Structure 1
Amino acid sequence: MGKDSKPKESGGKGKGKQAGGGSDENASKGKGKSGKSADGLGTCTYVKARHILCEKQGKINEAYKKLQDGWLSNGDKVPPAEFAKLASEYSECPSGKKGGDLGWFPRGKMAGPFQDVAFSTPVGATSAPFKSTHGYHIILCEGRKN
Protein backbone atom coordinates (compact mmCIF):
# COMPACT_ATOMS: atom_id res chain seq x y z
CA MET A 1 0.00 0.00 0.00
CA GLY A 2 3.01 2.33 0.29
CA LYS A 3 3.05 3.30 -3.40
CA ASP A 4 2.66 6.99 -4.09
CA SER A 5 0.78 6.41 -7.33
CA LYS A 6 -1.81 3.84 -6.22
CA PRO A 7 -3.63 5.87 -3.54
CA LYS A 8 -3.99 8.80 -5.94
CA GLU A 9 -5.62 6.59 -8.56
CA SER A 10 -8.04 4.90 -6.20
CA GLY A 11 -8.49 7.83 -3.81
CA GLY A 12 -9.78 10.30 -6.37
CA LYS A 13 -13.30 10.18 -4.94
CA GLY A 14 -12.22 10.70 -1.34
CA LYS A 15 -12.83 13.62 0.99
CA GLY A 16 -9.45 15.28 0.45
CA LYS A 17 -9.02 18.70 -1.14
CA GLN A 18 -8.31 18.75 -4.86
CA ALA A 19 -5.61 21.37 -4.46
CA GLY A 20 -3.81 19.22 -1.91
CA GLY A 21 -3.78 16.21 -4.24
CA GLY A 22 -2.38 18.30 -7.07
CA SER A 23 0.43 19.71 -4.98
CA ASP A 24 1.41 16.24 -3.74
CA GLU A 25 1.62 15.09 -7.33
CA ASN A 26 3.78 18.05 -8.27
CA ALA A 27 6.04 17.49 -5.28
CA SER A 28 6.72 13.91 -6.31
CA LYS A 29 7.27 14.73 -9.97
CA GLY A 30 8.76 18.20 -9.77
CA LYS A 31 12.07 19.35 -8.43
CA GLY A 32 12.57 21.06 -5.10
CA LYS A 33 15.00 23.85 -4.27
CA SER A 34 17.90 21.39 -4.16
CA GLY A 35 17.26 20.39 -7.79
CA LYS A 36 16.35 16.83 -6.82
CA SER A 37 12.87 15.40 -7.15
CA ALA A 38 11.13 14.75 -3.85
CA ASP A 39 10.87 10.99 -4.39
CA GLY A 40 14.41 10.48 -5.70
CA LEU A 41 13.24 9.33 -9.13
CA GLY A 42 15.57 10.41 -11.87
CA THR A 43 18.22 11.72 -9.46
CA CYS A 44 19.95 8.54 -8.32
CA THR A 45 23.14 7.20 -9.86
CA TYR A 46 22.50 3.47 -9.33
CA VAL A 47 19.43 1.24 -9.40
CA LYS A 48 19.04 -2.33 -8.14
CA ALA A 49 16.51 -4.21 -10.22
CA ARG A 50 15.07 -7.53 -11.33
CA HIS A 51 13.43 -8.05 -14.68
CA ILE A 52 11.58 -10.47 -16.86
CA LEU A 53 12.48 -10.48 -20.57
CA CYS A 54 10.39 -12.20 -23.23
CA GLU A 55 10.73 -12.17 -26.99
CA LYS A 56 6.96 -12.27 -27.53
CA GLN A 57 4.48 -9.75 -26.19
CA GLY A 58 1.93 -12.46 -25.39
CA LYS A 59 4.33 -14.19 -23.00
CA ILE A 60 5.24 -10.98 -21.12
CA ASN A 61 1.54 -10.13 -20.86
CA GLU A 62 0.89 -13.55 -19.34
CA ALA A 63 3.60 -12.96 -16.72
CA TYR A 64 2.22 -9.47 -15.99
CA LYS A 65 -1.29 -10.89 -15.57
CA LYS A 66 0.04 -13.22 -12.88
CA LEU A 67 1.56 -10.20 -11.12
CA GLN A 68 -1.72 -8.31 -11.44
CA ASP A 69 -3.82 -11.21 -10.17
CA GLY A 70 -1.51 -11.85 -7.23
CA TRP A 71 -0.64 -8.35 -6.05
CA LEU A 72 -0.99 -5.38 -8.37
CA SER A 73 -4.79 -5.41 -8.65
CA ASN A 74 -4.95 -5.00 -4.84
CA GLY A 75 -2.47 -2.13 -4.88
CA ASP A 76 0.15 -4.31 -3.19
CA LYS A 77 3.84 -4.46 -3.98
CA VAL A 78 5.14 -7.68 -5.50
CA PRO A 79 7.52 -9.40 -3.06
CA PRO A 80 10.98 -9.82 -4.66
CA ALA A 81 10.90 -13.59 -3.98
CA GLU A 82 7.62 -13.93 -5.87
CA PHE A 83 8.87 -11.78 -8.74
CA ALA A 84 11.99 -14.00 -8.84
CA LYS A 85 9.82 -17.12 -9.18
CA LEU A 86 8.02 -15.62 -12.17
CA ALA A 87 11.31 -14.47 -13.70
CA SER A 88 12.68 -18.01 -13.37
CA GLU A 89 9.57 -19.34 -15.09
CA TYR A 90 9.06 -16.73 -17.85
CA SER A 91 12.27 -14.79 -18.51
CA GLU A 92 14.29 -15.66 -21.59
CA CYS A 93 17.28 -13.67 -20.32
CA PRO A 94 20.21 -15.51 -18.67
CA SER A 95 19.38 -13.50 -15.52
CA GLY A 96 16.12 -15.46 -15.30
CA LYS A 97 18.06 -18.31 -13.69
CA LYS A 98 18.91 -15.86 -10.88
CA GLY A 99 15.30 -14.72 -10.50
CA GLY A 100 15.84 -11.88 -12.95
CA ASP A 101 18.37 -10.24 -10.64
CA LEU A 102 20.44 -7.59 -12.44
CA GLY A 103 22.07 -6.30 -9.25
CA TRP A 104 23.15 -2.68 -9.01
CA PHE A 105 23.83 -0.89 -12.28
CA PRO A 106 24.79 2.72 -13.01
CA ARG A 107 23.04 5.23 -15.18
CA GLY A 108 24.34 4.81 -18.73
CA LYS A 109 24.90 1.04 -18.59
CA MET A 110 21.48 -0.02 -19.87
CA ALA A 111 20.17 1.19 -23.21
CA GLY A 112 17.23 3.42 -24.06
CA PRO A 113 13.82 2.53 -22.69
CA PHE A 114 15.16 -0.04 -20.24
CA GLN A 115 17.21 2.61 -18.43
CA ASP A 116 14.36 5.13 -18.57
CA VAL A 117 11.92 2.70 -16.96
CA ALA A 118 14.42 1.33 -14.43
CA PHE A 119 15.37 4.79 -13.18
CA SER A 120 11.77 6.05 -13.08
CA THR A 121 10.14 3.08 -11.31
CA PRO A 122 9.77 3.70 -7.56
CA VAL A 123 11.53 1.35 -5.13
CA GLY A 124 9.36 -1.68 -4.51
CA ALA A 125 7.20 -1.00 -7.57
CA THR A 126 6.83 -3.06 -10.70
CA SER A 127 6.74 -1.48 -14.16
CA ALA A 128 4.11 -2.21 -16.75
CA PRO A 129 5.34 -4.29 -19.68
CA PHE A 130 7.37 -2.28 -22.21
CA LYS A 131 9.37 -2.94 -25.35
CA SER A 132 13.09 -2.45 -25.95
CA THR A 133 15.41 -3.59 -28.72
CA HIS A 134 15.88 -6.87 -26.80
CA GLY A 135 12.19 -7.74 -26.43
CA TYR A 136 9.50 -7.10 -23.83
CA HIS A 137 10.33 -6.42 -20.19
CA ILE A 138 8.83 -6.00 -16.74
CA ILE A 139 11.08 -4.40 -14.10
CA LEU A 140 10.93 -4.62 -10.31
CA CYS A 141 12.96 -1.80 -8.74
CA GLU A 142 14.59 -2.98 -5.50
CA GLY A 143 16.74 0.01 -4.57
CA ARG A 144 18.42 3.32 -5.45
CA LYS A 145 21.63 4.97 -4.39
CA ASN A 146 23.94 7.79 -5.44
Structure 2
Amino acid sequence: MGKDSKAKDSSKAKDPKAKDSKGKGKQADGDEGAGKSQKGGGGKGGGKADGLGTCTYVKARHILCEKQGKINEAYKKLQDGWLDNGDKVPPTEFAKISAEFSECPSGKKGGDLGWFPRGKMAGPFQEVAFSTPVGVTSAPFKSTHGYHIILAEGRKN
Protein backbone atom coordinates (compact mmCIF):
# COMPACT_ATOMS: atom_id res chain seq x y z
CA MET A 1 0.00 0.00 0.00
CA GLY A 2 2.84 2.44 0.71
CA LYS A 3 4.45 1.60 -2.64
CA ASP A 4 1.32 2.56 -4.58
CA SER A 5 1.10 6.00 -3.02
CA LYS A 6 4.84 6.47 -3.46
CA ALA A 7 4.68 5.54 -7.11
CA LYS A 8 2.02 8.16 -7.79
CA ASP A 9 2.68 11.36 -5.91
CA SER A 10 3.82 10.96 -2.32
CA SER A 11 2.95 14.56 -1.45
CA LYS A 12 -0.67 14.03 -2.49
CA ALA A 13 -0.84 10.75 -0.59
CA LYS A 14 0.43 12.34 2.61
CA ASP A 15 -1.38 15.67 2.41
CA PRO A 16 -4.62 14.69 4.17
CA LYS A 17 -2.78 13.30 7.19
CA ALA A 18 0.12 15.75 7.28
CA LYS A 19 -2.03 18.86 6.82
CA ASP A 20 -2.04 19.95 10.47
CA SER A 21 1.58 19.40 11.44
CA LYS A 22 3.65 19.54 8.25
CA GLY A 23 4.52 23.11 7.37
CA LYS A 24 1.98 24.60 9.75
CA GLY A 25 3.85 23.90 13.01
CA LYS A 26 5.35 27.38 13.03
CA GLN A 27 1.94 28.97 13.22
CA ALA A 28 0.23 26.69 15.70
CA ASP A 29 2.45 25.28 18.42
CA GLY A 30 -0.65 24.16 20.30
CA ASP A 31 -1.61 21.68 17.54
CA GLU A 32 0.30 18.82 19.18
CA GLY A 33 -2.83 16.67 19.32
CA ALA A 34 -3.44 17.08 15.60
CA GLY A 35 -0.05 15.67 14.68
CA LYS A 36 -0.43 12.64 16.95
CA SER A 37 -2.76 10.98 14.47
CA GLN A 38 0.29 10.49 12.22
CA LYS A 39 2.10 8.44 14.84
CA GLY A 40 1.32 5.10 13.25
CA GLY A 41 1.65 5.78 9.54
CA GLY A 42 2.32 9.38 8.57
CA GLY A 43 5.68 8.66 6.96
CA LYS A 44 5.40 5.15 5.53
CA GLY A 45 5.15 6.05 1.83
CA GLY A 46 8.02 8.51 1.65
CA GLY A 47 10.93 8.88 -0.71
CA LYS A 48 14.01 6.72 -0.40
CA ALA A 49 16.74 9.19 -1.41
CA ASP A 50 17.46 10.76 1.98
CA GLY A 51 14.40 9.95 4.13
CA LEU A 52 14.09 13.56 5.29
CA GLY A 53 10.58 14.40 6.31
CA THR A 54 9.32 10.87 5.67
CA CYS A 55 10.51 8.92 8.71
CA THR A 56 8.26 8.17 11.67
CA TYR A 57 10.87 8.44 14.46
CA VAL A 58 13.95 10.58 15.05
CA LYS A 59 16.72 10.14 17.63
CA ALA A 60 18.13 13.50 18.64
CA ARG A 61 20.12 15.52 21.14
CA HIS A 62 19.51 19.20 21.77
CA ILE A 63 20.62 22.27 23.62
CA LEU A 64 17.91 24.55 25.01
CA CYS A 65 18.55 28.06 26.29
CA GLU A 66 16.11 30.75 27.35
CA LYS A 67 18.28 33.57 25.99
CA GLN A 68 19.39 33.92 22.39
CA GLY A 69 22.85 35.12 23.47
CA LYS A 70 23.50 31.89 25.36
CA ILE A 71 22.44 29.62 22.48
CA ASN A 72 24.63 31.67 20.14
CA GLU A 73 27.55 31.14 22.53
CA ALA A 74 26.96 27.37 22.46
CA TYR A 75 26.71 27.42 18.66
CA LYS A 76 29.95 29.39 18.41
CA LYS A 77 31.66 26.74 20.50
CA LEU A 78 30.35 24.07 18.10
CA GLN A 79 31.51 26.15 15.12
CA ASP A 80 34.98 26.74 16.53
CA GLY A 81 35.47 23.05 17.26
CA TRP A 82 33.94 21.40 14.18
CA LEU A 83 31.49 23.27 12.01
CA ASP A 84 33.96 25.86 10.67
CA ASN A 85 36.09 22.97 9.36
CA GLY A 86 33.10 21.35 7.67
CA ASP A 87 33.16 18.50 10.16
CA LYS A 88 30.16 16.92 11.82
CA VAL A 89 29.99 17.30 15.59
CA PRO A 90 30.50 13.91 17.27
CA PRO A 91 27.60 13.04 19.62
CA THR A 92 29.97 12.80 22.60
CA GLU A 93 31.26 16.33 21.98
CA PHE A 94 27.75 17.69 21.40
CA ALA A 95 26.77 16.05 24.71
CA LYS A 96 29.56 17.91 26.54
CA ILE A 97 28.41 21.26 25.16
CA SER A 98 24.78 20.42 25.95
CA ALA A 99 25.72 19.58 29.54
CA GLU A 100 27.55 22.90 29.79
CA PHE A 101 24.95 25.20 28.17
CA SER A 102 21.51 23.57 28.10
CA GLU A 103 18.87 24.71 30.56
CA CYS A 104 16.72 21.64 29.83
CA PRO A 105 16.78 18.71 32.27
CA SER A 106 17.99 16.57 29.35
CA GLY A 107 21.21 18.62 29.42
CA LYS A 108 22.41 16.43 32.30
CA LYS A 109 22.15 13.49 29.88
CA GLY A 110 24.04 15.34 27.15
CA GLY A 111 20.81 16.65 25.65
CA ASP A 112 19.71 13.10 24.74
CA LEU A 113 16.01 13.02 23.85
CA GLY A 114 16.12 9.42 22.65
CA TRP A 115 13.70 8.27 19.94
CA PHE A 116 10.51 10.27 19.56
CA PRO A 117 7.64 9.94 17.08
CA ARG A 118 6.36 12.50 14.65
CA GLY A 119 3.65 14.49 16.43
CA LYS A 120 5.20 14.40 19.91
CA MET A 121 7.19 17.64 19.68
CA ALA A 122 5.58 20.99 18.96
CA GLY A 123 5.91 23.20 15.89
CA PRO A 124 9.38 24.36 14.90
CA PHE A 125 11.17 21.77 17.06
CA GLN A 126 9.52 18.88 15.23
CA GLU A 127 10.04 20.57 11.87
CA VAL A 128 13.79 20.99 12.44
CA ALA A 129 14.28 17.57 14.07
CA PHE A 130 12.61 15.74 11.18
CA SER A 131 14.34 17.76 8.45
CA THR A 132 17.92 17.73 9.79
CA PRO A 133 20.00 14.96 8.16
CA VAL A 134 21.48 12.29 10.44
CA GLY A 135 24.79 13.41 11.91
CA VAL A 136 24.13 17.08 11.16
CA THR A 137 23.78 19.88 13.70
CA SER A 138 21.02 22.43 13.09
CA ALA A 139 21.53 26.16 13.27
CA PRO A 140 19.99 27.81 16.35
CA PHE A 141 16.23 28.34 16.12
CA LYS A 142 13.41 29.59 18.34
CA SER A 143 10.40 27.70 19.66
CA THR A 144 7.84 28.47 22.34
CA HIS A 145 10.24 26.93 24.89
CA GLY A 146 13.29 29.02 24.01
CA TYR A 147 16.23 28.67 21.63
CA HIS A 148 17.49 25.28 20.45
CA ILE A 149 20.25 23.51 18.56
CA ILE A 150 19.53 19.94 17.46
CA LEU A 151 21.88 17.09 16.55
CA ALA A 152 19.99 14.41 14.60
CA GLU A 153 21.40 10.99 15.47
CA GLY A 154 19.06 8.57 13.70
CA ARG A 155 15.84 7.93 11.79
CA LYS A 156 13.49 4.99 11.51
CA ASN A 157 9.96 4.14 10.39
Task: State the SS of the aligned residue for 1:61.
Answer: helix
Report how far residue 82 of structure 1 moved: 0.2
Partner of 2:70: 59
Cα deviations across residues 22-70 of structure 1 (Å, max 9, x unaligned)?
xxxxxxxxxx747333210000000000000000000000000011111
Partner of 2:151: 140
1:70 counterpart letter in structure 2: G
Tell me how many residue pairs correspond in the alignment: 115
Q: Which whole-Å CA distance do the structure 1 matches of 2:70 and 2:113 have between them?
A: 20
1:43 and 2:89 are equivalent in the alignment: no
Q: Which whole-Å CA distance do the structure 2 matches of 1:45 and 1:67 have between them?
A: 28
- Residues 42-121 of structure 1 correspond to what in structure 2 (within 5 A)? 42-121=53-132
Identity across the alignment (%):
87
Task: State the SS of the aligned residue for 1:52.
Answer: strand
Partner of 1:126: 137
Output the TM-score relative to the length of structure 2: 0.71
Q: Which whole-Å CA distance do the structure 2 matches of 1:46 and 1:58 have between them?
A: 31
Q: Give structure 2 stretches of 5+ with no counterpart.
A: 1-5, 11-45
Output the TM-score relative to the length of structure 1: 0.76
Q: Give structure 1 stretches of 5+ with no counterpart.
A: 1-31
- Could you list the runs of 4 or more consecutive aligned residues of structure 1 that deviate by over 2 angstroms after TM superposition? 32-37
